[in-house]
């Protein structure tokens, strides 16, 4: 009985300008897994607002599975204070000044997805004003 080996790739794609996505794929070799994951990441791209100081507009919490990510805007020059997958997602997204904390699970993929959920729920002042004017 032979065991069939396959590789799983988790890839974060972004333009460093407020766009980011997480892709996952499996394949028999690393290169194909990476290519498939990259394509998957491009499909799940989200766009979110970034402030002039390359931070996030307000405090936000993202949940995915057992993971909870808390992100807070930070002053210019403080850098990305975050661990693991959250740091990678924020850097690829183009956020330079932010404080983040991951709670709950240590799962790489779920933490990456939770941070994307958090970034997706960011709004700007003009978007809030627009919503208020309609109600």
| pLDDT of residue 13 exceeding 90 | yes
| pLDDT of residue 135 exceeding 70 | no
CATH of the domain at 73: 3.30.230.10
Q: The tokens of 68 are what?
A: 């909870």
* Contact between residue 16 and residue 93 where contact means Cβ atoms under 8 Å apart: yes
- Domain containing 63: what range? 7-123
Does residue 128 lie within any of the structural domains? Answer: no
Could you give the CA distance from residue 62 to residue 105 in angstroms, rounded to a whole number?
13
Does residue 86 lie within any of the structural domains? Answer: yes
Whole-number mean pLDDT of the chain?
Answer: 91
Distance in angstroms between the alpha carbons of the first and the last residue of the chain: 65
Over residues 20-24, the mean pLDDT reads 96
| pLDDT of residue 25 exceeding 80 | yes
Report the predicted TM-score, pTM, of the whole model to 2 decimal places: 0.88
| pLDDT of residue 106 exceeding 80 | yes
Cβ atoms within 10 A of the Cβ of 13, count? 20
Burial of 121 (0-12, 13-18, 19+ CB in 10 A): middle
* Contact between residue 6 and residue 27 where contact means Cβ atoms under 8 Å apart: yes
Q: What is the pLDDT of residues 47-99, one digit of tens each?
A: 999 999 899 999 999 999 999 999 999 999 999 999 989 999 999 999 999 99
Does residue 48 lie within any of the structural domains? Answer: yes
Q: What is the pLDDT of residues 26-45, one digit of tens each?
A: 999 999 999 999 999 999 99
Q: What are phi and psi of 88, to 5 degrees?
A: -65, -45
């Amino acid at each position: 009985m032979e065991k069939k080996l396959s590789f799983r790739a988790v890839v974060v794609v972004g333009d460093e300008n407020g766009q980011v996505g997480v892709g996952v794929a499996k394949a028999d070799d690393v290169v194909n897994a990476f290519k498939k994951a990259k394509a998957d990441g491009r499909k799940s791209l989200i766009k979110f607002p970034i402030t002039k100081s390359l931070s996030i507009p307000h405090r936000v919490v993202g949940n995915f599975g057992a993971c909870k990510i808390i992100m807070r805007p930070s002053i210019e020059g403080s850098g990305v204070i975050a661990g693991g997958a959250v740091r990678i997602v924020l850097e690829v997204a183009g956020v330079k000044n932010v404080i983040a904390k991951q709670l709950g699970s240590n799962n790489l993929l779920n933490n990456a997805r939770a941070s994307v959920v958090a970034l997706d729920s960011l709004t700007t002042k003009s978007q809030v004003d627009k919503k208020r004017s309609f109600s």
